[in-house]
Structure 1
């Protein structure tokens, strides 16, 4: 190589980096690197490596590409062990994904290749639940998770899988009823769910175009729908089927077991009508009468159908809530988890403050199916059907209640103002947020009223409710509920001899409740509300240590400050004035809060060694290292935590704090992941409360 050529290549490397020589897209390479390490670096995967490489250019074992994108991963029966890693969502072009007949164990990763058409993970030793992220894989046609050790119940995740043709969940330990969203599997021809612990009826399968159905060796009850009896390949043995005739259907509905007889009756009616016409003029009057009666009867049935449909939209639906705490818990114990019914087709319009009901789908029984991920995004959130109006307080009354905003009444100081404890003459105690006057410089006087109008209409079990406001003499104040237990920040970072540390179960419950509050703001409110100041000091704790998110709806005021709230919570994409702040930035901040819960460390701590000062930078590389993770856990827990639960919690955190916002999951998926964590951990929330209690009462 002559000098000119050498200089040329040096210039190319300096300008473009080494990656200029790689044919494969960087996200694909990164995902396969992580997979290789998670599979315990198997020697049989020739060409693979734990860092760098060129899967498409170097023809890695089992990998096929189109251009610079990996499109197929075919590693069936390779003797692989370990797991598949946590970056499978990077593989956006993979359509064929087969790791069947290996010895893979642990949970199936929450994120799988998002655009896969064919997924086969059968014949392994996977445990845990079927991952809910499958609900978003709209291109999926083939899914085989059979012959594993999967357990728990199936979530209602199949509403968007209209292309799914073959589904195999056989030979696992899955329990519970078949989800109602099975009715949406309009292309399903093969369903194998034998040798599980399913229970209830199989009526939900009655209308599917199945030609191969195996439900043998479960705990199904009820009757086999007549429409399924004609399936060529049907296996139903080993269940507790009912004998004798099926009961009549509810008024206004059609039983799946009577569809054939209905069809025969319809044909018979047609023949009768034809006979009446042929009979001639002499029978004409009778024919007209018969037709009129038939039409009237049909119209009445039609009206009844829509009345039932309208009624169905108000049914109580809280199956996932009951599943969350069903293991070793008192079903009557809420512990901050909202068990009230919620209209799944309603979103709260924050401009009008009323629930907006969309046209309901056809009625389903016993519970409704959900489309567009409504199951994950709407469950356990609640709205009010009428506008809530905050009470107007006078400045004089607030000055009296706070002892003229005395330092002794100061509860905390935030980005845009201070919060004081207010004691009123009638014994009521509230928290008053006094917003800095500088925030309103150059603003319209109406802006504060507009904000109050919006946030006073919001209502969720995990947000701190705005109960009043004051706007007088240039002062702008918001009045909130008061929570004597203070904030999560105080519990984690300011504990004293009078406090007990938060137990592991309580920490997970706080994370779940906070995620639900953020899900409500992001995905239930219309338009969505970006919080922009998620941090542990804005997560208040009620008497039972349930989280209440505060400071929501004030993003317009944060943007006017010279910089973002920061403090170690801000996402990488955020500019100094917050112009790049999005919903995904909130999710990053929530991930930092969960890191606080995991480690007991502050998001930024200048007293630490330089490499440990920023919590995210220090912790993120270690979240998937079991040994390192054990050393990261908050010492205040004194080793009293389940390692598996900690590992799963770390996986959720890793998704939230990813540097690229597009890779962070939506809040509904974070909620679902935390719910699954609670289910798998068999957490007894009520018994846990006595071990985490702040003893002081903040009596200023």
Structure 2
């Protein structure tokens, strides 16, 4: 008999232990949620919820957050719920966050709410009646939103213990009477929204609060707005006094006005406009950056093949080489009009003609004299010419093409009667003037005759004639290379 009793007791103990192990949620929490589910008419939106029993934490009831076996958060906002919240919420002692906003909940707010709430949001429902006194016992409460309901009556003087409250929203209700004196105890309050009610009296009780945002629009307030609040308060739609405010009592400290917060809850249009301007500014900056990059890439593509080419002079404003003004020498000049002469070695300064000797034809005389005339006609002087034994150096066509960027238009300095002059810059920084002779002047001449002509010209020295330093006769081109002299005013050269 004793054996049977012992076995029965053991089986009962195991059953109780199994139920305790399998259930993760505190029984009081589960029971309170069972009652809430029934009071909400057992909505299908609340998945996994049950009217009796169940395990909210273990079965992951919708909107329920747990810590261990205790329910800590209830978030059921915007689910279209109807009915009431039930009468056992006070048993949810570990719940710190309760949000059932934006539903269709009716009747009075339950008197018995979770006692240790830090965040309570019952806004945008159809609650009626007064603000429950149980809120006065929530010493940890930081956020309270009862806005957009149908609450009525006067506020009880019950806020002495809500010293940690930072945000209080009672807007868009039907609350009446004066503000309770216990509002002065809300020493942490930053945001207060009382608009669209029927409050009366003054708002002086709010003057010492550390508010950043205050909205008391569309009430029946009277008196004066405290100086401390004038810069942050929205006060339209009231019956403020138009007469000057009475002076403060003797010994009152000077008033320190608070600046309005740039973003206010309830002023979404203002903040959204600011964000719109920020986005526009960012878009403009990005567009400018893209344009700058495109211009830089395009400019690089348009630049010369050689990286050492930089046009530091403004070709359009300052010509680096003076083009020939005289058009007296043309391709139609008859060779017979140029006098032959014996040779440059026999030339003496001051004579009025010059030529080369030992040419085989008048055409050769024409070519030789033409180069010398080109020198002298540009400066309109024939005297003070001397003969030396200097020799012009040969330049390769490849180097000249590189130095002049393939005789680019941007390197063009001027154009004379027998060819064009280009600016050539070498990697070592040396700059030369390159005269590319029109091929029509040497249609039948070979490179040897051109070289002979060049060597004769290179022996000429004159103070007003640029020195010939080199030549090139390759690929059917005849080119003269001179020292480069930049044009400019006397002031520019001196300074």
Relative to the length of structure 1, the TM-score reads: 0.35
Relative to the length of structure 2, the TM-score reads: 0.49
Q: Which has the larger radius of gyration?
A: 2
Looking at both structures, which has the greater relative contact order when contacts are Cα pairs under 8 Å and sequence separation is at least 6?
A: 1
- Structure with bigger helix share is 1
- Structure with bigger strand share is 2
